[in-house]
Structure 1
């Protein structure tokens, strides 16, 4: 892939370059994208990242605190809790993937998290999260929400469990999450627990039971929304201007693919944290007026799969409406 940088946005187009490999010809994984870190308590931080592409296969991820490896998880997982940290301390984390031969890819971008101050003699757990609700979003995702817990010194985070396994955490100010990477036609049982700065954990909420739809859904729930396309002319050439809102998913959307007239033409990768709300992008289309084009966009989801396509828009060069 060829990469052109514009601010924090990388524009990728096929340039015929070979994939990066080790000396034995094994393909190396790319640096994990969408890495985030958030304090779970005064002594722990929750690190998450987007799953890498399946080519090459990732056998494990490694989490580093500074230059020290502090955690390994299997390639099927994309989160880790880093414990035994110091209160009121800022830490820097990176993540890297290893292929089937055990060769490491490059590290991710650095992310920082600051643990809150320790709370002396706090042995009272937060109240259990109330009135949890959930619904399947197609065949591979679920939306969850709950009422906030109370705690005399404040809730630091909420932990989401599927059965007995913790699968996600969100900050104490959030009362909703979107869980992706689920299997089609599968029954799930979710609960939520609140955690305070002293690492006291609440009782589990009531259970939310739901079943994802069978087979592969059409992706409508994972498509960018509010998609718009217009054209403008500059320096004797025409450009297509796009705007859209990212789908709600469990993680960050770091990459998009633009299809023009039924074919993929450009991929966009955010080099930094993607923008909140509406994203915009403009690209060159040619110098002739009166040419109609069909355009649509889709996102690469945090689980490494492509989401559904946005609505398709038709634009004509020279038409300024």
Structure 2
């Protein structure tokens, strides 16, 4: 005969269900450890109405999920954990600001605020629509497996350069004040080729054209093999298309496939039906966008073991 469960049995069942449903929420509830305080915080004026704030990444016993930037204790920006910089916008010209940064984890624990850094925005410049000149003579030096130092010549601007922005593969990775002509970029991967450019910015937030690019390859990690990136990539605009040339990596066997990436996204796989040439190879693709469209281009090769190798340096091309 079936009997309904007793109150005691229901109580035990409820306890078991609560235990079983503990999961991640219960783990987060138990997490009371705060992330470490961000260090190395810097701030410089990007324009008359913006400031660029950067910092070193924090650590946590589980994981840092984001950062908050505060001005006089009030949050003015939030970014995910993958980023360690932000532009704080809508500031007042000729005004002093003090910024701090704190880290946040998945349980909502906040680190202590960083040491405060001060910055003063420059005066506004009315009707300034002329960008600075292109920064000249970009050069770079590799520092081991994870850092590079870049140097360049000064750009010119009628009202003065307020900042230089460093870009890697079209993403800004660093900014320095307008009086500086050098930057150190860290947190890079070993044995990887990086393409850097620099832009100058003025108080009206006009940005210059890109400087000439520089390709830098970080040192390989201990025990790793040679680079598997294609080398010598060039991209030349032709009417209605773009012509590419490059040298496949030395793999000990013919490289029959390459993946072509446009603006960071996979565009096509290039397959040679016959024996590919051993030296430089050439490929032309058609573009349908209007003349003046800007593309970034990079490649990687399929290795003999079937995996995809390292990316080539990135090239920028403007259609004709």
TM-score by length of 1: 0.58
Alpha-carbon shift at residue 23 of structure 1 (Å): 7.6
For 1:248-259, list aligned pairs within 5 A: none
State how far apart, in whole Å, the 2-side matches of 1:194 and 1:149 are: 7
For residues 25-80 of structure 1, what are the alpha-carbon distances to aligned partners after superposition, in whole Å with 9 as ceiling and x for unaligned? Answer: 43211221121111111011011111113544211111112232121112122111
Larger-Rg structure: 2
Which residue matches 1:266? none
2:141 aligned with 1:110 = no
Which residue matches 2:65? 59
Larger RCO (CA within 8 A; separation ≥ 6): 1
Which residue matches 1:86? 92
State how far apart, in whole Å, the 1-side matches of 2:60 and 2:74 are: 26
Q: Secondary structure at the match of 1:158?
A: strand
Pick the structure with more helix per residue. Answer: 2
* Alignment match of 1:44 (pick from 32, 44, 50): 50
Q: Secondary structure at the match of 2:166?
A: strand
State how far apart, in whole Å, the 2-side matches of 1:23 and 1:36 are: 33
Q: Kindly tell me: are residues 54 and 185 of structure 1, through their superposed partners in 2, closer, same or farther at Cα, counting changes over 3 Å?
A: farther
Q: Secondary structure at the match of 1:147?
A: coil
Alpha-carbon shift at residue 152 of structure 1 (Å): 1.1
Alpha-carbon shift at residue 200 of structure 1 (Å): 0.8
* Alignment match of 2:171 (pick from 165, 172, 176): 165
State how far apart, in whole Å, the 2-side matches of 1:187 and 1:34 are: 26
* Alignment match of 2:148 (pick from 133, 139, 142): 142
State how far apart, in whole Å, the 2-side matches of 1:172 and 1:127 are: 13
Q: Secondary structure at the match of 2:45?
A: strand
For residues 118-156 of structure 1, what are the alpha-carbon distances to aligned partners after superposition, in whole Å with 9 as ceiling and x for unaligned? Answer: 011211110000011112211100111111101111111
Alpha-carbon shift at residue 100 of structure 1 (Å): 2.4
Structural RMSD (CA): 1.7
Which residue matches 1:189? 195
Count the aligned residue pairs. 196
Q: Kindly tell me: are residues 33 and 155 of structure 1, through their superposed partners in 2, closer, same or farther at Cα, counting changes over 3 Å?
A: same
Which residue matches 1:210? 216
Alpha-carbon shift at residue 106 of structure 1 (Å): 1.4
For residues 281-302 of structure 1, what are the alpha-carbon distances to aligned partners after superposition, in whole Å with 9 as ceiling and x for unaligned? Answer: xxxxxxxxxxxxxxxxxxxxxx
For residues 251-295 of structure 1, what are the alpha-carbon distances to aligned partners after superposition, in whole Å with 9 as ceiling and x for unaligned? Answer: xxxxxxxxxxxxxxxxxxxxxxxxxxxxxxxxxxxxxxxxxxxxx
State how far apart, in whole Å, the 2-side matches of 1:137 and 1:86 are: 39
State how far apart, in whole Å, the 1-side matches of 2:61 and 2:170 are: 31
5+ residue gaps, structure 1, are 1-21, 218-321
2:102 aligned with 1:96 = yes
5+ residue gaps, structure 2, are 1-27, 224-320
Alpha-carbon shift at residue 102 of structure 1 (Å): 2.3
Pick the structure with more strand per residue. Answer: 1
